[in-house]
Each structure stands twice: as C-alpha cells, then as structure tokens.
Amino acid sequence: MKTADYIEQTEQYVLHTYNRFPVVLESGEGVWLTDVEGKKYLDFGAGIAVFALGYGNRAYEDALKEQLGKIIHTSNLYYNVPLSEAARKLAQASGMDKVFFTNSGTEAIEGAIKAARKYAYLKDGSTGHEIIAMNRSFHGRSMGALSVTGNPHYQEAFRPLVGGIRFADFNDLESVKAQINEKTCAILLEPVQGEGGIYPAEPEFLQGLRRICDEKDILLIFDEIQCGMGRCGSWFAWQQYGVQPDIMTCAKALGCGIPVGAFVLNEKTAKASLAPGDHGTTYGGNPLACAAVSKVFDLFEELDVIGHVREVAPYLEQKLDELVAKYDFLSERRGKGLMQGLVVTGRPVGEIVSRALENGLIVMSAGSDVLRLVPPLVIERADIDEMVRRLEKSF
C-alpha cells in the first residue's frame, strides 16, 4: 500500500477528530523519521514532546521486550515490580512523596482535580470548592481537564462543563488574587504554557502563588506534562524556580512513547486527600508502562540527558534569535530549554508548518501564531543547524 491508500483507509475507519498531515510515518532512528515512501524527516516535534530519547534507543527497546516476556498486566489489585521501581524513581526525581500512575496526561489532571477537592472536603466537610486555572492554558480534552483549560474555543460545544472553575491571567498575581474566595481549594497552572503559545512563568509569579497557597491552605498544582522530564533543563521546570507544588502532573516524555502519565503529591496532600475507593484505573501503573518509565529514568541518568539539554539549548536559542533578527515576520522567541517558540506575524503559522514538512522538517504550531520546536532531548548542534537550513528554505 502507498501513502494515499493508508490515508484513505484511515479516513474510512478512524473517527475524524484530527486534521492529519498527508504523511504516513513508518519508522524512526535517532532524531529522524521515515515515511512509507522512504522520505526522511528531521523531527523537531518529538511526537508533541514525547520522544525525549529519540527513536530506536536499543536499551529502551530491550527493556520493553524483556518486560513483554514476563508480564504485561496485573491490575491494581496486586503489586508488581516495575510499579515499585518507577514510583520510587519519579518520587526521587521530583522530591515529592506519593505517585499515582495513569494512562495519559489528561487522566493525571483528572486525578489532581479530584485530590484537590477531596483535600478541601476533608478539611471543612463541605462541597462546592473552586479551582483557579489560567487563561491560555491547556490541560486536556476530557470533561474535567477541559473545564480547567483556559480557551473557550475548546469548550463551546461541550458545556455545561465541571463547575467551580475560575480563570486568572498567567503571570499576573493580582489577577489570581482577585479570583480567590473562601471556596478556593487549588490553583492550577503550567510552569511553561505549551499549547497556549510557549509562555514561561516569571519567578515572582510562581513564588507569589506559593506564598498565597501557604497562607490560605490552598493546594498549588503544576502541570508538567509538556514542560517536564528534562525538557527545560531540570527534571521538572518548577525546580528552576525553587517553588515546589503540592501536586504535580506529568506524562509525555515520562514513558518516551509508551502511554503513561502520573500525578505526584507531597506528603501533606497525600495524607489528607484520596483514600482507597476514591480513585482508580484498570491499566494505570501496569508492568509494561512502568518498565518504560523506570528505564527512561535510568537512561536519563546514564546519558546525562538533562546535562545535555543545558549544553545544547543555548545554541538553539542563539540560532532562533538569529532568525528573529533576520526575518521581519518573526517578532519574538519565547521558551525555556528545548521548549521553544517563534512568534509569527503577518502570515499563517500553519503555512510554515506545512512547507517545513514538504522540506523534510517536522515542527508544530502553538496557539494561533507560534511556531513550536520541541525536539528529542538528544539533538546535537548539527541537528539544529540542519533544522535552521530547512526552516529557512520553508520561509
């Protein structure tokens, strides 16, 4: 079968909720992907910030094969070895205490919302507690995650959503303060907004939120699904701000391709929120997913992935800044580490994404006017140079 045949078959049988690009990807090696026609693509999207280790990492694949030969699923009625190891490594990397594994980032957000509301319920015995989320945010498409996503466009057709959600402006502490009342149980945000346009938080903003939450016994929830797992130059972006959340969500690069997410709680929150019977999942924390998580942490350490991000990210920033200076339709670079965006003015960003794909370069958009670059964390300077060459050709 050729590209057109696969596309036709997919459109016939798969619900059309994505406007996919006309490419059928088949294999990958390192930071390159290959389609069914044999064309190669330099990948600066990493499956939306998922494939941190690049494609074809043999140690990672061998770990999954080894687990496949043992056991794939047990349910959460029993213990399993990879669950124990993966939870320990995630807790140690985050400096937090208790882990709940999910199947996705969206499910991690759902769990974080439930934990926050249960915490507030146990504290005062009442319901109707509220959560403050941020405008421009994106947390997922299930009903709960959609309810805390600060973009009305995603919400319109699905109202009524989960109630008790208020929105404030990102990086505007006074805006958050204006939304707080006696019912507020949590403040939820991304330390670096992703889908909303690659906006890093200002240190004073996160520090101010932490002070407010401590004073009022409100839970601070950080969504690290896209910006976490080394992408910004530390295990989690919040670690560069010196502000620890009460609950953190993560996914994407946590499993480097295997569908897995998690929410992580500090001891205070874990002791006074979800109890047996409050939350569950059939597949979450299964041995195969947790074997992937455990190996990802091992490989990050062995390959010094975070050190590599710190080394190569300044070069990426430099080359992107040079593009902003060179082209009048690029107005700004925003980002942190290997999560970068170029603000495009005067022309559709989607046009650049499509032309880049034609030129064998995978990049994405974020928001309505940002060209997003979230490559595998193992890219080298030569890959950045090649990206720039192909991107300029696309311009």
Q: What pLDDT does 95 receive? A: 98
Q: Classify residue 177: in a domain, yes or no.
A: yes
Q: In this predicted model, what pLDDT tens digit does every residue of 308-341 receive, in sequence order? A: 999 999 999 999 999 999 999 999 999 999 999 9
Q: Which of 252, 276, 302 finishes a domain?
A: 302
Q: In this predicted model, what pLDDT tens digit does every residue of 72-104 receive, in sequence order? A: 999 999 999 999 999 999 999 999 999 999 999
CATH number, domain with residue 34: 3.90.1150.10
Q: Are residues 334 and 297 in the same domain?
A: no
Q: Classify residue 136: in a domain, yes or no.
A: yes
Q: What pLDDT does 72 receive? A: 98
Is 184 in a helix, a strand, or coil?
Answer: strand
Q: What pLDDT does 376 receive? A: 98
Domain extent, residue 325, equals: 3-56+304-394
Portion of the chain with pLDDT greater than 70, in percent? 100
Q: What pLDDT does 215 receive? A: 98
Q: In this predicted model, what pLDDT tens digit does every residue of 372-387 receive, in sequence order? A: 999 999 999 999 999 9
Q: In this predicted model, what pLDDT tens digit does every residue of 36-62 receive, in sequence order? A: 999 999 999 999 999 999 999 999 999
Q: Are residues 257 and 367 in the same domain?
A: no
Q: Classify residue 63: in a domain, yes or no.
A: no
Q: In this predicted model, what pLDDT tens digit does every residue of 188-209 receive, in sequence order? A: 999 999 999 999 999 999 999 9
Q: Which of 302, 325, 354 finishes a domain?
A: 302
Q: What pLDDT does 64 receive? A: 98
Q: What pLDDT does 184 receive? A: 98
- The CA-to-CA distance between both ends of the chain, in Å, stands at 33
Q: Classify residue 66: in a domain, yes or no.
A: no
Q: Indicate if the alpha-carbon torsion angle 208, 209, 210, 213 is positive or negative.
A: positive
Sheet strand arrangement including 98-102: 98-102, 261-265, 247-250, 219-223, 184-189, 130-134, 165-168
The predicted model gives 4-15 an average pLDDT of 97
Q: Which of 249, 267, 302 finishes a domain?
A: 302
Q: What pLDDT does 108 receive? A: 98
For residue 152, report the phi and psi dihedrals to the nearest 5 degrees.
Answer: -55, -25
Sheet strand arrangement including 370-373: 330-336, 339-344, 370-373, 364-366
Q: Are residues 160 and 201 in the same domain?
A: yes
Q: In this predicted model, what pLDDT tens digit does every residue of 254-293 receive, in sequence order? A: 999 999 999 999 999 999 999 999 999 999 999 999 999 9
Q: Which residues pair with 186 in a beta bridge?
A: 131, 219
Q: Are residues 146 and 186 in the same domain?
A: yes
Contact 260, 103 (CB under 8 A): yes
Confidence of residue 210 (pLDDT cuts 50, 70, 90): very high
CATH number, domain with residue 172: 3.40.640.10
Domains held by the chain: number: 2
Q: Please state the pTM of the whole predicted model.
A: 0.97
Q: Indicate if the alpha-carbon torsion angle 12, 15, 17, 22 is positive or negative.
A: negative
Q: Are residues 342 and 384 in the same domain?
A: yes
Q: What pLDDT does 286 receive? A: 97
Q: Are residues 226 and 275 in the same domain?
A: yes
Cα–Cα distance, 115 to 82 (Å, whole number): 24
Confidence of residue 163 (pLDDT cuts 50, 70, 90): very high
Q: Classify residue 61: in a domain, yes or no.
A: no
- What tokens were used for 157? 């057709």
Q: What pLDDT does 125 receive? A: 96
The chain-wide mean pLDDT, for the chain, equals 98
